[in-house]
């Protein structure tokens, strides 16, 4: 039986893709040194955002798995500005890595991660959240953007 690939595994896969493409097919360096070090800040911000959102889920005793039905609608902290701060944090970290690498091809990883979250996970999550919280989730969805 094949194990499900949850978002953290997608993050790792697309991180490897970014690094591999940089070394195998660098195409062109679009962010030279020392400007590429700005990526470190994005990685740090992405990790902080991801950990913060994860801790709020744990504190509110709700599920993190995208295919499970949540028990609490978390609306505080980073969830005030993004409905998906964990995915946003992972995306920021991937973009940060691509900036550090500096090559055009390394940006394929963050692009593919974004598409995977949009197509594979967010629709299922939002359906599950709506099934439990209905109008409350619709109100939240109308006030807060999906990403930023």
pTM for the model stands at 0.94
Tokens of 53: 């959102």
* pLDDT of 69 higher than 70: yes
Is residue 30 within 8 A of residue 103, CB to CB? The reply is yes
Residue 87 belongs to a domain? yes
Segments forming the whole domain that contains residue 79: 30-143
Which residues, including other chains, have CB under 8 Å from residue 117's CB and lie 6 or more apart?
7, 10, 84, 87, 91
Residue 24 belongs to a domain? no
The pLDDT value given to residue 26: 82
* pLDDT of 1 higher than 70: no
Q: How many domains does the chain have?
A: 1
Residue 91 belongs to a domain? yes
User: Mind listing the pLDDT tens digit for each residue in 50-60?
Assistant: 999 999 999 99
| φ and ψ at residue 82, rounded to 5 degrees | -150, 135
Residue 93 belongs to a domain? yes
Residue 13 belongs to a domain? no
Residue 132 belongs to a domain? yes
Residue 11 belongs to a domain? no
Mean pLDDT of the chain: 96
CA-CA distance, 60 to 13, in Å (whole number)? 29
Which residues, including other chains, have CB under 8 Å from residue 137's CB and lie 6 or more apart?
73, 126, 129, 130
Residue 1 belongs to a domain? no
Is residue 54 within 8 A of residue 84, CB to CB? The reply is no
């Amino acid at each position: 039986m094949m194990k499900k690939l949850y978002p953290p595994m997608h993050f790792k896969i697309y991180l490897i893709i970014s690094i591999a493409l940089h070394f195998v097919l660098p195409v062109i360096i679009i962010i030279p040194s020392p400007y590429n070090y700005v990526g470190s800040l994005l990685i740090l911000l992405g990790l902080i955002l991801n950990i913060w959102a994860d801790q709020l889920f744990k504190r509110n005793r709700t599920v993190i798995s995208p295919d499970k039905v949540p028990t609490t609608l978390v609306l505080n902290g980073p969830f005030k500005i993004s409905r998906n701060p964990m995915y946003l944090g992972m995306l920021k970290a991937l973009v940060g890595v691509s900036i550090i690498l500096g090559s055009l091809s390394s940006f394929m990883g963050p692009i593919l991660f974004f598409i995977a979250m949009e197509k594979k996970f967010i629709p299922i999550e939002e359906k599950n959240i709506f099934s439990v919280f209905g109008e409350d989730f619709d109100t939240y969805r109308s006030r807060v953007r999906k990403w930023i």
